[in-house]
Amino acid sequence: MNAPTNFSLEAIVDEPLRFDFEIFFSTKEFGREPLLDISPARIAGEVARVEGGHSLSARLSWSGKLECSRCLAPYDFSEDDEFSLLLYRRAPIAEGELSLDKDDLDAYFYDDPVVSVAPIVEERIQIALPMKPLCREDCRGLCPQCGADRNVSPCSCVVEFIDPRWRALQVLKKG
């Protein structure tokens, strides 16, 4: 399969370890229907020993195709993300003590000192994928009546919409 995308933290003592991986994912792994295509994710960076654990700082880049949630057109996107994490060995839970403190969002706890990069990358991609993908901020979507793509050409449907507050005013006027 892939080239090894693991590193043994125990082997990283004085010198930071530099790495540069490509990780292949299939769109299915993310369970997101609008995700039509995804490139290999490239992650390059280093792992260094810090007090009490290790730090990982890396640049993650990937691209793909998403389906716009308004007009249903596929569009290309790409991400280039620099991040850093602190890697700590998961402490055995001491009596009456729960040591979940500080910025846990940027901390990654492991049981096995051979850490695999793929799940870290997968999680970051999962977070970066938009819940409601839009081909562009002001996408006009499809006409709910005739289905025409309103980005391409405005259709002649008249969509009636009366603000309910207006309606209340009209009633008042008549009365």
- Considering only residues 70, 85, 124, 133, which one is a binding residue for Zn ion as defined by CB under 5 A? 70
Given the rule CB under 5 A, which of 8-16, 41-49, 147-155, 165-173 is the region that contacts Zn ion? 147-155
Sign of the C-alpha dihedral computed for residues 129, 7, 111 and 85 taken in this order: negative
Asked if 107 interacts with Zn ion (CB under 5 A), we say: no
Question: At 66, which amino acid appears?
Answer: L
145 is an interface residue for Zn ion by CB under 5 A:
yes
Stretch that binds Zn ion, among 35-43, 65-73, 77-85, 86-94 (CB under 5 A): 65-73
Q: What span, in angstroms and rounded, lies between the C-alpha atoms of 81 and 71?
A: 27
Helix spans in the chain (H): 117-128, 164-174
From residue 120, alpha-carbon distances to 17, 45, 57, 83, 173 in Å are 17, 13, 12, 11, 62
Least gap, CB of 113 to Zn ion (angstroms): 46
As beta bridge partners, residue 7 has 115
CB of 153 to Zn ion, least distance (A): 10
* Contact window for Zn ion (CB under 5 A) among 29-37, 44-52, 62-70, 164-172: 62-70
Interface with Zn ion by CB under 5 A: which residues? Answer: 68, 70-71, 135, 139, 143, 145-146, 148, 155, 157
